[in-house]
A and B are shown apart, each in its own frame.
Chain A
Amino acid sequence: MSKRITCEGNEAAAWAVALARPDMVAVYPITPQSSLAEHISQFVADGIIKADLVDVEGEHSVLSVLQGACLAGARTFTASCGQGLAFMFEPYFRTPPLRLPMVMSIVTRDGISPQCIWGGQQDAMTVREVGWIHMFCENNQEILDTLVMAFKIAEHRDVLLPVNVDHDGNYLSYSVETVEIPDQDKVDAFLGVKNTNWHAALDPDRPMAVDPLTGGAGGPGPAIFVRYRKGHCKAMQNAIRVITEVHEEWGRAFGRYHAPLVEEYRLEGADYAIVTIGSMAGAGKDAVDVARQDGEKVGLIKIKTFRPFPLQAVCEALSKVRAVGVVDRSVSFGWNSGPVYQEFQTAQYWLEERIPAVSFIGGLAGSDLTLKHFQRVIETTGRAFRGEVFREPIWLNEKDA
């Protein structure tokens, strides 16, 4: 029987890991992920998770250990963020091209410096181009459901890629909500038989060299290298279909239908829309409801899957409105805007008509994005819809609380 418990986001994530029955978990604690590591350790100690829990000396070892485990056929999980993710970068880049179907939570945290242990999405956004799948969650139930689905997506034969499930540090990691923990038998049936190393294995019965030297001018190396790169890109595109299918299957099995790629909220008849990613969608939707009551025709576009970028779904949503305001919880230093804004501008190339767009940056370093912030976002985007031009990003926490 499924049961309902009231817990913080990090514990919801740990319950999802328990449901997926991993064989090996390695985690190194780092704020705001630490309580996730604690919950998993407790579950292993209590026998709720029957996995090898590896005590490692740092995040670089975390992912290196799990790569070996994955190649030996294990289902694996880890979680990190911020500086831990930075320290993990070398094996982090190696994991997707080796096509190891790992699942990892990023409990997002802002970038250092300035020294900061609080929420922000700078860590996850900074690694967006490394070839992992990235799905951002809005609430604790979505964390739990998405993490279980992540194992199925990662291990799907047309995908075979590691998946990051990102949830906001502070705002989801420590937020307490009631979540439903589905029945273990139903999750077992949903996930099916695991086989994580049919394609690359550390197995004496199937001797092979994994990750041999590939490249160098004058030989066959570069062409082989390109073949793998193209295969990786193809798998990312396959993931768009697989993520959609798995979310539908989850809805049928458990009755909760989450938007797999992009959620359209009150876009019908909207003049313009605001765009959110992660937990801020809650306050954003409330602000849209309030504005709608006041007769303002505004909707909301929520990004769930950011990698692979759901180009078609974004274009479909954008084609329904005539101006857009994009709220980022991180910075693209090279573009003087937020990364989601930047990618929405790229997506606009495929629209028949370009629409005005405004970049908002807020919620950095643990600051909240409140109803008041989103009312400012809606008011400003409304002005853009009526013809005002905004060339600079708008920094939300600079002025209003």
Chain B
Amino acid sequence: MRKQSRKPFDRSTIPDDLCPIATEGFLLRTGDWRAERPVVDRDKCVKCATCWMYCPTQCVVEKPKWFEANLDVCKGCGVCAQECPRHAITMIEEAEV
């Protein structure tokens, strides 16, 4: 990602009850919403990148010999498991905390 080259807008110059604007990022941990997690069978994965392409949250990351989901972001929707041509991904229920 290209680094922000300009200074963010100084929002203190306008009233804070005026309208919804944001000048700094706030990352949602969408991984907290997950009921099931995708688990990749590394022996079956052939790195075809189908999961990487289909993931709605674009959270699949490339490893040396396989792909896997970034669990901070993955919502557990299961699209990758459905689409994997090698059936290398299994959805496992998240354990009760």
* Interfacial residues, chain A to chain B (CB-CB below 8 A): 97-99, 160, 198-200, 204-214, 224, 227-228, 230-231, 234
- Which segment of B15-23, B42-50, B53-61, B63-71 sits at the interface? B15-23
Chain B residues closer than 8 Å to A230, beta-carbon distance: 17
Is B95 an interface residue when CB atoms closer than 8 A count as contact?
no
Q: How far is the CB of A101 from chain B (nearest CB, A)?
A: 11
| Bound-state Cα–Cα, A381 to B54, Å | 69
| Bound-state Cα–Cα, A199 to B28, Å | 25
Q: How far is the CB of A100 from chain B (nearest CB, A)?
A: 8
Chain B residues closer than 8 Å to A209, beta-carbon distance: 21-23
User: Residues 1-33 of chain B: 1 if any A CB is under 8 Å from the residue's CB, otherwise 0?
Assistant: 000101011010011111111110010100000
Chain A residues closer than 8 Å to B19, beta-carbon distance: 97-99, 160, 199-200, 210, 228, 231
Other CB < 8 Å A-B pairs besides A200-B19, A208-B22, 13 of them?
A99-B19, A160-B19, A198-B14, A199-B18, A199-B19, A206-B9, A207-B9, A208-B21, A209-B21, A210-B19, A228-B17, A231-B15, A231-B17
Q: How far is the CB of A344 from chain B (nearest CB, A)?
A: 31
Q: How far is the CB of B24 from chain A (nearest CB, A)?
A: 9
- Prevailing SS type, chain B contact patch: loop
Q: How far is the CB of A159 from chain B (nearest CB, A)?
A: 11
- Prevailing SS type, chain A contact patch: loop
Chain B residues closer than 8 Å to A208, beta-carbon distance: 8-9, 11, 21-23
Number of A-B contacts (CB under 8 A): 58
Chain A residues closer than 8 Å to B9, beta-carbon distance: 206-208
Q: How far is the CB of B31 from chain A (nearest CB, A)?
A: 15
| Bound-state Cα–Cα, A231 to B15, Å | 9
Q: How far is the CB of B12 from chain A (nearest CB, A)?
A: 13
| Bound-state Cα–Cα, A189 to B16, Å | 31
Which of A160, A206, A212 has its CB near the most chain B CB atoms (within 10 A)? A206
Closest to A201 in B: B9
Chain A residues closer than 8 Å to B22, beta-carbon distance: 208-209, 212
User: 13 pairs across A/B with beta carbons < 8 Å?
Assistant: A98-B19, A160-B19, A199-B15, A199-B19, A200-B18, A200-B21, A204-B6, A207-B23, A209-B22, A210-B21, A212-B20, A228-B19, A230-B17
| Bound-state Cα–Cα, A205 to B5, Å | 10
- A98 with B8, Cβ < 8 A, contacts A198-B14, A199-B14, A231-B15 known: no
| Bound-state Cα–Cα, A109 to B23, Å | 42
Q: Report yes or no: A228 in contact with B14, Cβ–Cβ below 8 A.
A: no
Chain B residues closer than 8 Å to A211, beta-carbon distance: 20-21
Q: How far is the CB of A14 from chain B (nearest CB, A)?
A: 30
| Bound-state Cα–Cα, A199 to B11, Å | 9
| Bound-state Cα–Cα, A384 to B15, Å | 49
Q: How far is the CB of A197 from chain B (nearest CB, A)?
A: 11
Q: How far is the CB of B96 from chain A (nearest CB, A)?
A: 19
Q: Report yes or no: A99 in contact with B17, Cβ–Cβ below 8 A.
A: no
Q: Report yes or no: A207 in contact with B18, Cβ–Cβ below 8 A.
A: no
Q: Report yes or no: A227 in contact with B6, Cβ–Cβ below 8 A.
A: no
Question: Considering the complex of A and B, which 3 residue pairs feature the smallest CB-CB distances, nearest first?
Answer: A231-B17, A206-B9, A99-B19
Q: How far is the CB of B81 from chain A (nearest CB, A)?
A: 27
Chain A residues closer than 8 Å to B23, beta-carbon distance: 207-209
Chain A residues closer than 8 Å to B15, beta-carbon distance: 199, 231
Other-chain contact of A97, B11, B20, B26, B28 (Cβ < 8 Å): B20
| Bound-state Cα–Cα, A213 to B14, Å | 20
Closest to B23 in A: A208
Closest to B24 in A: A209
Closest to A212 in B: B22
Closest to A218 in B: B32
| Bound-state Cα–Cα, A230 to B17, Å | 7
Chain A residues closer than 8 Å to B18, beta-carbon distance: 99, 160, 199-200, 228, 231
Q: How far is the CB of B77 from chain A (nearest CB, A)?
A: 19
